[in-house]
Amino acid sequence: MSSTPVPKLLLGTAAACAALLVVLLLAPRAADLIGSASPTPSVLVSASPSELASASPSPTAIASPNPTATATPTYLLTVVVDGAENGKVVSVPAGINCPTTCSARFPKGTRVVLTPMAGPAPSGYDETWLDWAERCAGAGTTCEITIAADYTAHATFHVRPSAFGLQVLIDGPADSGFVTSAPAGINCGNSGSTCLHAYAFGTMVNLMAVARPGYLFMGWTGPCNGTGACVITLGAPTDVPAVEVTARFEPVS
């Protein structure tokens, strides 16, 4: 018995159907595999550029952590003012205005200049001068301190008289001798004698003693000694109220 041949068209159709069936069966699985391997669209678009930037540490935060600043130490400067009324001391930089404000704190390393300011001189006096003690010992117009610890500066104001008196005394019998001065002012032991005279500050006075006949000049006592001329420069604090010089005369033996 002979078999009936299957037409080629039918065979091709059957093969195509079988292949289509395989593709349809495998398509969901392939979709799953592809979907799991690729990021979802929402993951790719959900982060904005600013969010991405904020998620990364900034270079500044990594390279330069903010250290805690160390405070500069400060020290106490104290000024003591003595002497003339109305005198005061002020500082640059500001802080001291003594006797109102006599202490202030300044940072370490600060250069502080203290300046004395004298008030008006009392009646009978014409000038005020100053002595510094402690941090700025000696006379001067300003006191400069570079702050490195607690310091005290002591300022003493002095007033200077308008004139300084010079008093000459004669030790000996009347008319035994006399004393004159250059510059003029003293003419002690003569008729109408002047034994006390006031000289301006800083005047150098030369006193000369002359013995009368029958007497000898024996010498000076006080700020001068010997038998030569007595030279005195007036103006020291000890010149107030007056400098006293004695000229001693004795009879010739």
Does residue 61 form part of some domain? no
Residue at which a domain ends, from 161, 192, 207: 161
Quote the longest CA-to-CA distance of the chain: 202
- The pLDDT confidence band at residue 70, using thresholds 50, 70 and 90, is confident
The residue out of 134, 161, 188 marking a domain boundary is 161
Order of strands, sheet of 187-188, starting from the edge strand that comes earlier in the sequence = 187-188, 177-182, 204-211, 230-233
* Helix (DSSP H) and strand (DSSP E) numbers for the chain: 4, 17
Percent residues over pLDDT 90 in the chain: 45
Peptide bond connecting 241 to the previous residue in cis, omega within 30 degrees of 0: yes
The answer to whether position 5 is within a domain reads no
28 lies in some domain: no
pLDDT at site 184: 95
Residue 22 domain flag: no
In this structure, is residue 7 part of a structural domain?
no
Rounded CA-CA distance 120/80 in Å is 20
210-234 pLDDT per residue, tens: 999 999 999 999 999 999 999 999 8
Of the three residues 161, 189, 210, the one that is the final residue of a domain is 161
pLDDT digits (tens, 9 = 90+) for 4-62: 454 444 445 555 555 554 444 555 554 454 445 444 444 334 445 455 445 454 544 44
Q: Does residue 247 share a domain with residue 173?
A: yes
- Is residue 42 assigned to a domain? no
CATH code of the domain covering residue 246: 2.60.40
Site of tokens 């030790």: 171
User: Residue 129 has which token pair?
Assistant: 């001068």
Q: Has residue 102 been placed in a domain? A: yes
Q: Which domain holds residue 190?
A: 164-251
78 and 151 fall within a common domain: yes
CB 207 within 8 A of CB 186: yes
Domain count, the chain: 2
